[in-house]
Structure 1
């Protein structure tokens, strides 16, 4: 399993962020090829060091190659380009494979 996490910093207007994310951005995300699941966390998001986070989004894919394919697809490019429309608190994107120990 491979994970793509998107960490959104606190926006200047949280209500606008929420409306835009739910109405415009999330539909773009849900169209990513190979996406198995998407989950969100706002309550209980705790930053131990660094930036003040507002929203954490976790997307699951079968493989790292599936993540790369999703990000380079037209749907992935559209979602990436859309970030400038609402993510004024900053955004960090992290991809990783989960490894059993």
Structure 2
């Protein structure tokens, strides 16, 4: 599986509640329409006294790089991008493989099975 990993910044002028409503409530409907999507996860940044460089991270799973290309080539992606422009200042992304690394005390063989 291939994963799109996107780090996002909220549009200036939106408070946290507005941002999370756009992202957590409205945006999944657009993501679900992408052809070939297998899984979607949102990771909002935790509120903190420190100003984080990003407002959150999203992960979208697809079967292959070709499936990612197909998903983002259609009208569903255009609708998704239009919605993102309503609440996001920026989106930076990359394609990744996911590799689970065992923690101390876990058998190393587990890594080979999952890779």
What is the rounded CA distance, in whole Å, between the counterparts of 2:27 and 2:45 in structure 1? 20
Q: Could you list the runs of 5+ residues in structure 1 that have no partner in the other structure?
A: 45-50
Q: Larger relative CO (CA 8 A, sep 6+): 1 or 2?
A: 1
| Matches for 1:54-69 after TM superposition, within 5 Å | 54-69=55-70
Q: Is the radius of gyration larger for structure 1 or structure 2?
A: 2
Superposition TM-score, scaled by structure 1 size: 0.77
Task: Confirm or deny that 1:7 pairs with 2:7.
Answer: yes
Residue equivalent to 2:54: 53
Q: Which runs of 5+ in 2 are unaligned?
A: 47-51, 100-111
**Structure 1 Cα separation of the partners of residues 10 and 87 of structure 2:** 11
Determine if contact 1:4/1:96 at 8 Å carries over to the other structure: yes
RMSD: 2.3
Number of aligned residue pairs? 94
Q: TM-score, normalised by structure 2?
A: 0.69
